[in-house]
Amino acid sequence: MSVAAERIERLHELARAAATEGDQERARYYVRLARRVAERNRLGLPRTFRRFTCDACDAYLRPGRNARVRLQDGHVVITCDCGEQARYPYDD
């Protein structure tokens, strides 16, 4: 794994930890930093990172806390508190 990929993993963990502690602003900071590292190094973001972050407001999503999850037509629909929705195939 490249240094940049490791850095992204680490930032993902920090974002998750901050969100767990209820510090959404710090979580966003780490999410944005991870996106920037990925961009600068032309790396894709890990799937779990993409699933648990909002594309619109960079929140780290915690279903039941700042996001709602429902199933619809074989898809998982995640709605962030900001209103942004993301859809994923159920078994992907």
Footprint on this chain of Zn ion (rule: CB under 5 A): 54, 56-57, 59, 80, 82, 84
Q: What is the sign, positive or negative, of the torsion defined by CA atoms of 18, 19, 24, 27? A: positive
Half-sphere exposure of 33 (CA within 13 A, CB side): 16
- With respect to Zn ion, which residue has the nearer C-beta, 17 or 57? 57
Establish whether 63 is an annotated binding residue. Answer: no
- With respect to Zn ion, which residue has the nearer C-beta, 56 or 69? 56
The residue among 57, 48, 64 whose CA lies nearest residue 16 is 48
Establish whether 47 is an annotated binding residue. Answer: no
Establish whether 80 is an annotated binding residue. Answer: yes
Annotated binding site for Zn(2+): 54, 57, 80, 82
